[in-house]
Amino acid sequence: MTPVFEWREAPRAQYAVIGDPISHSRSPQMHHAAYAALGLDLRYVAIRVPVGEVSEALEHLRSIGYQGVNVTVPHKEEAFRWARWSDSTAARLGAVNTLRLEDRYALNTDIYGLIETVGDAVPGGGRAWVLGAGGTARAAILALQELDFEVVLTNRTAAKGESLAAEFGAVYQLAWTASGFDVILNTTSTGLAGEALPIDWTGAEGCQLAYDMAYGGPNNPFLAEATKRGISARDGLDLLVAQGALALEFWLGQHAPRAQMAAAVREA
* Binding-site ranges for ligand ATR (CB under 6 A): 132-137, 155-157, 160, 187-190, 195, 197
Give least dist CB 73 to ligand ATR, A: 6
DSSP string, 121-183: HS-SSSEEEEE--SHHHHHHHHHHHHTTPEEEEE-SSHHHHHHHHHHHTPEE--S-B-TT-SE
In the complex, what is the shortest distance from the CB of residue 140 to ligand ATR, in angstroms, rounded to a whole number?
A: 9
Are the C-beta atoms of 244 and 70 separated by less than 8 Å?
yes
Residue 121 sits at φ, ψ, to 5 deg, of -100, -30
Q: Are strands 127-131 and 150-154 parallel, antiparallel or unpaired?
A: parallel
Which of 26, 76, 138, 258 is an active site residue?
A: 76
Nearer to ligand ATR, 94 or 135 (CB): 135
Which amino acid is located at 242 in the chain?
A: A
Q: Which is nearer to ligand ATR, 20 or 249 (CB)?
A: 20
Distances in Å between the alpha carbon of 226 and those of 65, 73, 206, 253? 46, 27, 11, 37
Residue nearer to ligand ATR on the CB measure, 66 or 222: 222
- Shortest reach from residue 105's CB to ligand ATR, in Å: 23
Residue 86 or 136 with smaller CB distance to ligand ATR = 136
| Cβ-proximal residue to ligand ATR, closest one | 134
- Closest C-alpha among 167, 116, 107, 117 to residue 137: 167
In the residue annotation, 228 being an active-site residue is answered as no
Of all helices (H) and strands (E), which one includes residue 6? strand 4-6
Nearer to ligand ATR, 137 or 248 (CB): 137
For the CB of residue 154, give the shortest distance to ligand ATR in the complex, in Å. 9
**Measured from the CB of residue 245, what is the shortest distance to ligand ATR in angstroms?**
21
Cβ of 63: how many Cβ atoms within 10 Å? Answer: 9
Among all residues, which ones are annotated catalytic? 76
